[in-house]
Amino acid sequence: MLIRAKAPLRISFAGGGTDVPPFPQQEGGCVLSATINQFATGTLRPRADQNICIHSLDFGVSLTYRPEDQFIYDGKLDLVKAAILKMGCSDRGGYDLFLQSNAPPGSGLGSSSAMMVALVGLLKEFKQLPLTDYEVADLAYVIERKELGIQGGLQDHYAATFGGVNYIEFLADRVVVNSLKVPADVINELECNLLLCYTGTMRLSASIIDDQVGRYRRKDEETLDALREIKQLTDAMKSALLRRQLDQFGRLLHEEWEHKKKVSSKISNPDLDELYRVARREGALGGKITGAGGGGFMLLYCDFEKKHRVAERMKEMGCTITDLRLEPSGLQTWRVSGA
């Protein structure tokens, strides 16, 4: 018997930064995002002994722990160790874990958080725990952000767990996921007009988040004004999407990026600014760096008739174009009998 899980990665259209504590606890945050056709996947195979064997197919790393061994955070698959420790080493016996993601950490697509959600899903299914989607997302957030101390916001865990196009509210005492009923023709049009480009550079989001939080705590006026304006733009983008005003959606994406860059000086750099300037010149209505910023993937909204020209120019400048399809489902787990 095998247990499998997959959790989708996400693109964030607007609101990133307002989900990073302490801003949501003090002023409330909101994010508009959608999951895509890239996944963090995992397989759990029960063993006849008590050993736990972890295999990262992305990094080519395998670790084996016997019952008497201690899990030590040493930079080697710490996300997996933290999930196992938090959810308890099972009295159901040992197991092999096989893990893989379509995108590496630092890509800006929420890959590490999606992997944490997939891990929680695997262990939940193995231990037969009656966790709701909200509980899965919250547990994944607690493990990554609090147990491991990895800086970041709340949005990724909820996006990966729930899936689809969501307007997520981050309030002082709870998170509310509003699943948006976006018609199929609007989804199709988004997929026709959106362009996802890998810029060829990874980034360490922790330093960007540290800078943003520090500015917020110091009550830096530019950062405060930018975060508050981003909240307003997130609402406006949600309305434009639901009203089928997609060109307006693209223009608001540009406005959101201009304000996002004011949150921290580390969010963009001259190379990314030049890429975006060229994309706009060639016909992109708007765009942004996904995730915390600093590198990874650039998301662009283009006039469809000009999209091919933008794509060719981005490739000439060293970017890789990624096929983009929106994924309606969140975390999925299932069992394979007789495997």
* Residue 103 confidence (pLDDT): 83
* Residue 2 confidence (pLDDT): 96
Residue 41 amino acid letter: T
> Do you know the residue count of the chain?
339
* Residue 204 confidence (pLDDT): 55
The ranges of the chain annotated as CATH 3.30.230.10 are: 2-181
* Residue 185 confidence (pLDDT): 97
- Name the architecture of domain 184-322: 2-Layer Sandwich (3.30)
Catalytic site residue from 138, 156, 220, 271? 156
Locate 133 and state its tokens: 């989607």
194 exposure class (CB count in 10 Å sphere: 0-12, 13-18, 19+): buried
Q: How far apart are CA 259 and CA 295, in angstroms?
A: 17
- 273 given a catalytic annotation: no
* C-beta separation of 302 from 253 below 8 A: no
Q: How far apart are CA 61 and CA 54, in angstroms?
A: 8
Please compute, for residue 45, the number of CA atoms within 13 A of its CA located in the half-sphere on the CB side. Answer: 9
Helices vs strands, H then E, count in the chain: 11, 12
Q: Minimal CA–CA distance to 248: which of 274, 197, 285?
A: 285
pLDDT in tens, 212-239: 888 888 988 999 999 999 999 999 999 9
Q: Which CATH class is domain 2-181?
A: alpha beta
Q: Residue 42 carries which DSSP code? A: E
The ranges of the chain annotated as CATH 3.30.70.890 are: 184-322
* Residue 265 confidence (pLDDT): 83
6 exposure class (CB count in 10 Å sphere: 0-12, 13-18, 19+): buried
Which residues of the chain have a pLDDT value below 70? Answer: 89-90, 202-206, 292, 338-339
For residue 20, what are the contacts with CB-CB under 8 A and spacing of at least 6? 29, 152, 153, 154, 209, 212, 213
pLDDT in tens, 152-198: 899 999 999 999 999 999 999 999 999 999 999 999 999 999 999 99
Cα–chain center distance at 316: 27
Please count the other Cβ atoms lying within 10 Å of the Cβ belonging to residue 312: 12
Q: How far apart are CA 319 and CA 264, in angstroms?
A: 24
Please compute, for residue 104, the number of CA atoms within 13 A of its CA located in the half-sphere on the CB side. Answer: 13
